[in-house]
Amino acid sequence: MKRIALFCAVAAALACKETAQAPAAPAVAVPDKILVAATLPIGSKEGEAARFIREGYELAFEEANRGGGVFIGGKQVPLQLDILDDADDPARGVALLRASKARFFLGSSSARVIDAEAAFAEQEGAPYVVAVGASNDVFARGAHFVFGLQAPLESLAYTQMRWIDEQQKAHRLPSPLSVALLVEDGARGREFRKGVIDFTEKTASRRLSYKVVFDETFPPAQQDFTAQLARLKAAGADAFLSDSSLAEFMALHRQYLLRGLCHKVLSYGAHGIEPDALEAFGFDGLGYILSAVWWSNRLAKSGLARRFAETFKDTYHREPDWYGALSYEAARVLIEALRKSESTARGAVRERLVAGKMDSILPGGRLVFGADQQATYPYVVQQNQPDGSTPMIYPNDVAETPGVASNPKCK
């Protein structure tokens, strides 16, 4: 018994000694602030879109900082957002991010800048959350650190075509319906075109119901569409479907109206009711344009979406649009990943983004990233009306009106 007792005492003493000599766990480094950088094409023709994105980013950061920032190592740490002007220049955008001292990045609104910055973020192992403008190509590469809030453009086109198909089956549009396509020659334009073509060719009945009679592209940033519009007019299509940037849409639609063109269905993808367009064309000039968007203020009837809409209007004195909604949510999902990881380690924040499922202002009410780290959720189709309203017309479970087809302005 004495030997056993002695052995236990020695073992206990050794354990105590080892415990005393064991190195303490390293303390979590707590910064004075967490810096996030974003570039936007402020000094370019896309400056108006850049302003809309900036508003959403800034609103999310202001809200987070009113709550004390994020909790890191037992301390509330404020957030700092640095917004830099990439002037729609990919090399400049990458150089600005490289020169910044930020550990985390938010995306530009320029597709070509996003493409370059995404590659840089991947090399750096830095989380890069993109609100708008990214193409599927960015996510198809299998990047680990790039996340997108914008559902694919291919789905946008497909959703619009579903509404058009319903109108055709209701005998409000001719069959076969002749379709004209004009898109920017880039990844996003190709995705939009693919959505339309895939829809019209998916089944034998659709191949009989649709005929693409005009299918052209234009180079990025084009402002003179004289030649394309002349050929478009000669094609005599029933529906004209285009995809473009905001600046391209403004130039294209101005020239479309000047040439007296009119189609039974007219769409510029997600564009059609931006403040600048409304000021330039009025509701009469924008009448019956069809747009499929990632978010509509008309969905903001309760919960997070309603609170966002009210806060946005109090801050910027106008109703929020899809630009502000997606950029706000992109910033919020990054902030939430920082909050849940309680760390500034890039890998830890990236893992929270991958696993993150949070209540959202986006359609469906939940934000989840797919396997390619791009969010997916249903599009909302809306149509400008002569009374100045833009009711939702599709999907049917949220539609406020069936919509108008064909365009009564075309006689």
- Secondary structure (DSSP) of 238-259: SEEEEE--HHHHHHHHHHHHHT
Number of CB atoms found within 10 A of residue 178's CB? 17
Burial 190-226 (b: 16+ CB within 10 A, else e): bbbbbbbbebbeeeeebeebbebbbebbbebebeebe
Q: Pairing between strand 289-293 and 380-383?
A: antiparallel
Q: Quick one: pLDDT at residue 4?
A: 44
| Per-residue pLDDT tens digits of the chain, which is 411 residues long | 444 444 444 444 444 444 444 444 344 578 899 999 999 999 998 898 999 999 999 999 999 999 999 999 889 999 999 999 999 999 999 999 999 999 999 999 998 999 999 999 999 999 999 999 888 888 888 889 999 999 888 999 999 999 999 999 999 999 999 999 999 998 889 999 999 999 999 999 999 999 999 999 999 989 999 999 999 999 999 999 999 999 999 999 999 999 999 999 999 999 988 888 888 998 889 999 999 999 998 888 889 999 999 999 999 999 999 999 999 999 999 999 999 999 999 999 999 999 878 999 998 888 989 889 999 888 999 999 988 889 999 999 899 999 999 999 997
φ/ψ bin of 87: left (φ > 0), alpha (ψ from -120 to 50), beta (otherwise)? left
Q: Quick one: pLDDT at residue 7?
A: 40
Please calculate the CA angle 154-159-164 and round it to the nearest 5 degrees: 125
pTM, two decimal places = 0.83
**CATH number 3.40.50.2300 given to 153-293+379-394:** yes
Q: Pairing between strand 128-130 and 146-148?
A: parallel
Q: Pairing between strand 289-293 and 239-243?
A: unpaired
Nearest to 84 by CA among 98, 68, 67: 98
Nearest to 88 by CA among 139, 23, 39: 39
From residue 367, give the alpha-carbon distance in Å to each of 148, 329, 345, 410.
11, 9, 23, 41
Nearest to 253 by CA among 237, 273, 235, 234: 273
Q: Quick one: pLDDT at residue 31?
A: 86
Q: Rounding to the nearest 10 degrees, give the CA dihedral for residues 342, 347, 350, 352.
A: -40
φ/ψ bin of 31: left (φ > 0), alpha (ψ from -120 to 50), beta (otherwise)? beta
Domain boundaries, the chain: 34-151+300-368, 153-293+379-394
Give dist(CA 255, CA 237) in Å, integer. 17
Q: Where are the beta strands (DSSP E) in 258-319?
A: 265-267, 289-293
Provide the H-helix boundaries in 38-140.
Answer: 47-66, 90-99, 111-124, 136-140
Backbone angles phi, psi at 243, to 5 degrees: -135, 135
**CATH number 3.40.50.720 given to 34-151+300-368:** no
